[in-house]
Amino acid sequence: MELQALAGCLSSVSCTVMQVSTGLIIGMLLFLVASGLSLIFGVLGVINFAHGSFYMIGAYFAFSAYQLTDSFTLAILSGALGVGIFGMVFERLFMSKVYGRDVLMQLLVCYAFILILDDMVKILYGAEYKLMGMPQAFALPPIQVGGGFIPSYYVFMIGISAVIGLVLWLGIAKTRFGKVVRAAAINPTMVGALGINTTLLYAFVFGIGSLLAGTAGALAAPIRTLTPGMGLSILIESFIVTVIGGMGSIVGAFIAALLIGLTRAFGSMGFPLFVDGMMFAMMALVLIVKPSGLLGRPVH
């Protein structure tokens, strides 16, 4: 146990600031992935087990675009839109074929795609680690807050994720489209009877969910090593986030993602071997005390 290290860090402002910023970027990435997962589940009633792989291909799309064009903006856009379109195609051609069927079949389709995407990445990029490198625009001196240094890219990432989260929340809570999506989550037949093309709506929602995963992958590309199979751990963590926050709740996902992010950041100092255990204990606690999550609708 390195609890002294944790106590030492907490007593110094600069160290706390740095760990908080690390926790925030972990949390923001988790939030983007988890909100996509939660959105798809909330509306379509399926869990996209391949969501972590979408995050992975988002990162690789961004990596390739950055290598080709040297533009970070294009890298992010291609990661986000590329995976968004991929998600829509995936929904139309594969996922939609197993909606009415056994959960087993949905699971197998996703399982097949995780295997295929991992191997495709291995074939196209090789099995070894890839580094994208920090874009030129962020080669700035770190920003100083209370004696602690925060890399400027972290600030950008936290900011842009917060904006995306806000747009998503406003879009679902305040716009007409958001109303339709919420209605479709509760009673798709009725929504269809009112003249809305639910097939298209499903594909679109799946696309948005995938786009969020792709964006997270693209944003993570400069600060993470890229490797086939990188999606799995974030899939599990984002699931924990949706369970704690409550399936279908964007705000809940946000709170839970920050909670998990900060737990990871400080936990890896104080009790590195028990960070995973801590996250699972938190999830188990929520499931026992309030199975629907902090802000979720009741689960049957």
| Site for other proteins, rule CB under 8 A | 41, 45-47, 49, 94, 97-98, 102-109, 111-116, 118-120, 122-123, 232-233, 236, 239-240, 243, 247, 273, 276-277, 280, 283-284, 287-288, 291, 299-300
Rounded to a whole number of angstroms, the minimum distance from the CB of residue 228 to other proteins is 9
Nearer to other proteins, 7 or 123 (CB): 123
Nearer to other proteins, 33 or 80 (CB): 33
Evaluate the CA torsion angle 108, 298, 40, 64 in order and state its sign: negative
Rounded to a whole number of angstroms, the minimum distance from the CB of residue 108 to other proteins is 5
CA angle 280/30/33 to nearest 5° reads: 115
Tell me the two tokens of residue 176: 């007409």
Residue of 192, 231, 207, 252 lying closest to 80 (CA atoms): 207
Which residues are paired to 148 by β-bridges?
A: 145
| Distance, CA of 28 to CA of 45 (rounded, Å) | 24
Tell me the two tokens of residue 196: 């809305």
Nearer to other proteins, 178 or 229 (CB): 229
Nearer to other proteins, 43 or 219 (CB): 43
Nearer to other proteins, 41 or 266 (CB): 41
Hey, what long-range contacts does 68-74 have (CB within 8 A, 24 or more apart)? 72/135, 72/136, 72/137, 72/138, 72/222
Rounded to a whole number of angstroms, the minimum distance from the CB of residue 119 to other proteins is 4
